[in-house]
Structure 1
Amino acid sequence: MNHPVFLAADIGATKTNICLYTFPGRLVANSPLVQFRTADFSGIEALIPNFLSGRKVDLSFCVFGVPGPVYNGRAQITNLPWVLDEKKIQRDLNLTTVRLVNDLEATAYALPELKSKDIFTLSAGKKESKGNKAIIAPGSGLGESFLIWDGVTYNSFASEGGHGDFAPNSKIECDLFAYLQKKYGHVSYERVCSGQGIYNIYRFFKDQKYEKEPIWLTKEFESAGKDPVPVIIKTALNTGKQCRICVKTITLFAAILGAEAGNLGLRMLARGGVYLGGGLPERVLSFLKEKAFLQAFYHKGRMSSLIKEIPLHVITTPKAGLIGAAHYGVAHFLPDCQKDKFTVVKAVPEVT
Structure 2
Amino acid sequence: MNLAIGHPDRQTRIPAPPFLAADVGGTHARVALMQPPQEQGGEAELLAYREFACADFPGLPELLQAFVKDEVQMPVRHCVLACAGQRMGDEVLNDNSAWPVHLPPLRRALALDDLAILNDFEALGYALDKPLAHSARLLCGPAIHVDGPALVIGPGTGLGAAVRLPDAAGGSVLTTEVGQMDFAPYSLREREILAHLAPAGGYVAYERIVSGPGLLVVYAALCSLRGEAPKLATPEAVSAAAAECSDAQAVEAVEIFCAALGSFVGSLALAFMAVGGVYLAGGFLYSMFASLERSAFEERFLHGRSARAFLSRVPVWVAEHGRHGVLGAARWYLRHGAPGSAISRQAVAGG
- TM-score normalised to the size of structure 1? 0.85
Correspondence for 2:59: 43
From 221, 240, 246, the counterpart of 1:204:
221
Please give the alpha-carbon distance, in whole angstroms, between the structure 2 residues aligned to 1:23 and 1:101: 18
Would the aligned equivalents of 1:9 and 1:17 in 2 still touch at CA under 8 Å? yes
Pairwise mapping of residues 272-287 of structure 1 onto structure 2 (< 5 A)? 272-287=276-291
SS of equivalent to 1:136:
strand
Pairwise mapping of residues 170-181 of structure 1 onto structure 2 (< 5 A)? 170-181=187-198
Please give the alpha-carbon distance, in whole angstroms, between the structure 1 residues aligned to 2:240 and 2:201: 27
Q: Count residues in correspondence.
A: 328
**Which amino acid in structure 1 is aligned with residue 178 of structure 2?**
G
Please give the alpha-carbon distance, in whole angstroms, between the structure 1 residues aligned to 2:193 and 2:122: 30
Deviation readout 1:158-217 (Å, 9 max, x if unpaired): 11110101111111111111111128841111010001210111012111118x56xxx8
From 18, 30, 33, the counterpart of 1:20:
33
Deviates more, 1:141-150 or 1:252-261: 141-150
SS of equivalent to 2:30:
strand
From 239, 255, 261, the counterpart of 1:233:
239
Instruction: Please state how far the C-alpha of 1:137 moved relative to its aligned partner.
Output: 0.6
Instruction: Please state how far the C-alpha of 1:152 moved relative to its aligned partner.
Output: 4.2
SS of equivalent to 1:287:
helix
SS of equivalent to 2:261:
helix
Please give the alpha-carbon distance, in whole angstroms, between the structure 2 residues aligned to 1:183 and 1:95: 49
Deviation readout 1:202-257 (Å, 9 max, x if unpaired): 012111118x56xxx83xx4xxxxx521111111112xx53221111111100001
Any stretches of 5+ residues in structure 2 without a counterpart?
1-13, 338-342
Correspondence for 1:298: 302
From 261, 268, 272, the counterpart of 1:268:
272
- In the alignment, structure 1 residue 137 sits paired with structure 2 residue 154: yes
Q: 1:19 to 1:152 in 2, by over 3 A?
A: closer
Deviation readout 1:93-121 (Å, 9 max, x if unpaired): 21111112111111111112225652011
Q: 1:250 to 1:273 in 2, by over 3 A?
A: same
Pairwise mapping of residues 331-350 of structure 1 onto structure 2 (< 5 A)? 331-333=335-337, 334=343
**Which amino acid in structure 2 is aligned with residue 273 of structure 1?**
G
Would the aligned equivalents of 1:120 and 1:316 in 2 still touch at CA under 8 Å? no
Instruction: Please state how far the C-alpha of 1:291 moved relative to its aligned partner.
Output: 4.4
Instruction: Please state how far the C-alpha of 1:259 moved relative to its aligned partner.
Output: 0.7
Would the aligned equivalents of 1:87 and 1:98 in 2 still touch at CA under 8 Å? no
SS of equivalent to 1:143:
strand
Correspondence for 1:330: 334
Correspondence for 2:124: 107
Instruction: Please state how far the C-alpha of 1:71 moved relative to its aligned partner.
Output: 2.4
Pairwise mapping of residues 306-321 of structure 1 onto structure 2 (< 5 A)? 306-321=310-325
Instruction: Please state how far the C-alpha of 1:86 moved relative to its aligned partner.
Output: 3.0
SS of equivalent to 2:258:
helix
Q: 1:159 to 1:174 in 2, by over 3 A?
A: same
From 244, 250, 272, the counterpart of 2:254:
250
- TM-score normalised to the size of structure 2? 0.86
- In the alignment, structure 1 residue 88 sits paired with structure 2 residue 105: yes
Q: 1:264 to 1:91 in 2, by over 3 A?
A: same
Please give the alpha-carbon distance, in whole angstroms, between the structure 2 residues aligned to 1:72 and 1:194: 27
Question: Over aligned residues, Cα RMSD in angstroms?
Answer: 2.5
Any stretches of 5+ residues in structure 1 without a counterpart?
222-226, 345-352
Instruction: Please state how far the C-alpha of 1:340 moved relative to its aligned partner.
Output: 10
Q: 1:115 to 1:16 in 2, by over 3 A?
A: closer
- In the alignment, structure 1 residue 168 sits paired with structure 2 residue 185: yes
Deviation readout 1:20-68 (Å, 9 max, x if unpaired): 011322221111x211110222221111111111532232511111111
Q: 1:286 to 1:60 in 2, by over 3 A?
A: same
Pairwise mapping of residues 148-163 of structure 1 onto structure 2 (< 5 A)? 148-163=165-180
Please give the alpha-carbon distance, in whole angstroms, between the structure 2 residues aligned to 1:183 and 1:27: 52
Structure of greater Rg:
2
SS of equivalent to 1:112:
coil
Correspondence for 2:24: 11
SS of equivalent to 2:285:
coil
